[in-house]
Structure 1
Amino acid sequence: MISEAQLQDELSIIIANAIREDVGEGDHSSLACIPKEAQGKAKLLVKDNGVIAGVQFAKMILNYVDPLLETETFIHDGQQVKEGDVVFYVTGSSQSILKAERFLLNSMQRMSAIATKTRYFQDLLAGTHTKILDTRKTTPGIRALEKWAVKIGGGENHRFALYDMIMLKDNHIDFAGGITKAIEKTQQYLSEIHKDLKIIVEARDLAEVEEILQSGGVHRILLDNFSFEDTKTAVAMIGDQCQTESSGNINEETIRKYAECGVDYISSGALTHSVYNMDLSLKAM
């Protein structure tokens, strides 16, 4: 996984790029009709139900736009919210508040939607030991935000990108000439470059699970598009030799059944690629 320093770098890049994209040479709408010295106050109003996320990120945005802006927070990341709730007040330069408004709302609306869906999926797993994972199926440029939202919702992050974990999927295996060769080449590569990265290998059937186990040195086996029965069999075969993960067209109707098969993790791209933004607004007071 990426370090805290790397995460902060990612978030700083996202903020700078978004403000560049949205503000450019200046917010002419505000500059045209609001005096530079004007002070104002606004509230972050919830118009939906779910899990709020992005409160801390909103403060980062406001601080970037204008360090003199002040916030008073009533609801924190990860808390349940309902229509009519006020998350925070922001006071200071009216121009600065308006400059930050759209990016702040865009971020919080999407993060809250992801956190809400993650919490829903994790609640479906209650009573099992299975954890919900995200994937790399994220919006280009804002992966750090979306994975942060998953954590806020109670899920766990899979690898952040291609550089922090080895994941041998079907195409890697086929191009390498099979599972055994793919694992052997990977282990040799890691030895040569002096890196200690965890290795996850995808299995498409029980025969491939057996071949992975014979190769050894694998952190987790990904059971891709397995039936319930084959998942149970695979979990029994694997035992405590490595971790297990189910994936592939798993939804709210099937997720608990897969968890009850005994897998350690279930990964779902739907956490980040299939959500509807939570309705939020920033209203002047």
Structure 2
Amino acid sequence: MPLFELAGFDLDAFVAATLAEDVGSGDVTANAVIPEDAVFDGVMDSRDAITVAGLPIAAAFFRALDPTVEIAVLAQEGEAVAPGCDLMRLRGNARALLTAERSALNTVQHLSGIATMTRAYVDAIAGSGATLLDTRKTIPGLRRLEKYATRMGGARNHRMGLWDAAMIKDNHIAVAGSIGEAVARAVRAGIGSIIVEVDRIDQIEPALAAGATHLLLDNMAPAQLRTAVALVAGRVPTEASGGVRFETIAEIAASGVTYVSVGRLTQSAPAADIGLDFAPA
């Protein structure tokens, strides 16, 4: 059984494509400087407090170039760790491991950065009753990994793509002619999950009457959100979205919405500070 499985994600293909991009025709530095039979003992550690995500993927990079590498993963996915925490110890062919180093670190730094920011947002709305959602604002080709990282940080995934729910937004409404007509067309198409973006209170009843199953309350201030939630009165889930920042999310969540979605979790999370150092056992 593979050491890391994620629905819709081909780990072997991802590792091969990433290494091909980075290594090209060969690692000229490692090949010139490192003896062919040299052994590397190393430790991957966190320089900051982070929420961990991506260690099994990082390990796959090292195994791809040295199938006999010895790897001990020392932290769990989704675990909050302190600065200086050892995440992984490895021993193997020095040329291979140093060639794989950048690809492995880039991946675990990026995913742990997303998980760390996500955990901060989750903690900020703890006790509100609202659930944090991610969005489709992801780097092309990395969506499943980035959405995996938000789950490790404690969020719930929104739509994975355009196929798994309808989301009717302002441009759809403009072309369809009205919010009611846009929703009615989705209903006639047999779509079970119909998310409708509203940015005014007077759009709520027409959307619900036409068959919306989820309302996305776009760029509404907390007072307006409270009004919208009261009007919806639990008939469908409500989602606050647009312009949500760490400084404002607690007040937004306290409005009574079911969900708060945050694009910056995958769009703007800084990479975690994680390194790999030579450290003989």
**TM-score in terms of structure 1 length:** 0.90
Give the equivalent residue in structure 2 for 1:55: 55
Q: Is the 8 A contact 1:164 1:197 kept in 2?
A: no
Counterpart for residue 124 of structure 1: 124
Kindly provide the amino acid, as one letter, of the partner of residue 183 in structure 1. Answer: V
CA-to-partner distance for each residue in 1:192-230, whole Å, 9 max, x for gaps? xxxx552211011111111111112x3311000112222
Which residue of structure 2 aligns with residue 263 of structure 1?
257
> CA contact under 8 A between 1:44 and 1:89: conserved in structure 2?
yes
Q: Equivalent residues in 2 for 1:221-236 (5 A)?
A: 221-236=215-230
Q: 1:24 to 1:235 in 2, by over 3 A?
A: same
- Residue 12 (structure 1) shift: 4.1
State the one-letter code of the partner of 2:261: S
Measured after TM superposition, the shift of residue 5 of structure 1 is 6.2
**Offset of residue 187 of structure 1:** 2.5
Query: Greater shift after overlay, 167-176 or 58-67?
Result: 58-67
Question: 1:174-189, aligned counterparts within 5 Å?
Answer: 174-189=174-189
State the aligned residue count: 275
Name 1:210's counterpart in structure 2.
205
- Counterparts of 2:162 and 2:213 in 1: how far apart (Å)? 16
Cα shift at 1:37:
3.1
Alignment-derived partner of residue 237 in structure 1: 231
Is the CA contact 1:44–1:88 (under 8 Å) kept in the aligned structure 2? yes
Separation (CA, whole Å) in 1 of partners of 2:238 and 2:13: 34
Do the aligned partners of 1:14 and 1:142 also contact (CA within 8 Å) in 2?
Answer: no
Q: Alignment partner of 2:224: what SS?
A: helix
Q: In structure 1, what is the equivalent of residue 111 of structure 2? A: 111
2:22 is paired with a residue whose SS is helix
Q: Partners in 2 of 1:197 and 1:99 — Cα distance?
A: 48
Q: 1:33 maps to what in 2? A: 33
CA distance in 1, matches of 2:58, 2:30: 20
Q: What SS class does the counterpart of residue 43 from structure 2 fall into?
A: strand
Could you tell me how far apart the structure 2 residues matched to 1:271 and 1:280 are? 19
1:45-194 matches, within 5 Å, as 45-189=45-189, 191=190
Q: Deviations over 1:115-174 (max 9, x none)?
A: 111111110111121111111111222222211111111111111122222111111111
Is contact 2:9–2:144 with CA below 8 Å preserved after alignment?
no
Any conservation in 2 of the 1:114–1:271 contact (CA below 8 Å)?
A: yes
Alignment match of 2:275 (pick from 265, 272, 281): 281
Give the equivalent residue in structure 2 for 1:272: 266
Moved more, 246-255 or 59-68: 59-68
CA contact (8 A) 1:14 1:141 kept: no
- Determine helix, strand or coil for the equivalent of 2:8: helix
**Cα distance, 1:265–1:141 mapped onto 2, change above 3 Å:** same
TM-score (normalised: structure 2)? 0.91
2:133 partner amino acid: L
Deviations 1:3-25 (CA, angstroms, capped at 9, x unpaired): x764333x444322211110112
Q: Which amino acid aligns with 2:243?
A: N
Distance 1:40 1:227 in 2: 55
User: Which sits farther off after the overlay, 30-39 or 197-206?
Assistant: 30-39
- TM superposition shift of 1:33: 2.6
Aligned counterpart in structure 1 of residue 240 of structure 2, from 246, 253, 257: 246
In 2, the alpha carbon distance for the partners of 1:12 and 1:234 equals 47
1:7 aligns with 2:2: no
Q: Hey, what's the Cα distance between the residues in 1 that align with 2:209 and 2:74? A: 54
- What RMSD, in angstroms, separates the aligned Cα atoms of the two structures? 1.8
CA offsets 1:4-61 (integer angstroms, 9 cap, x no match): 764333x444322211110112222212232333332211021122212211221233
Shift of 1:181: 1.5
Q: Check whether the contact 2:199–2:217 (CA below 8 A) recurs between aligned residues.
A: yes
Counterpart residue identity of residue 138, structure 1: T
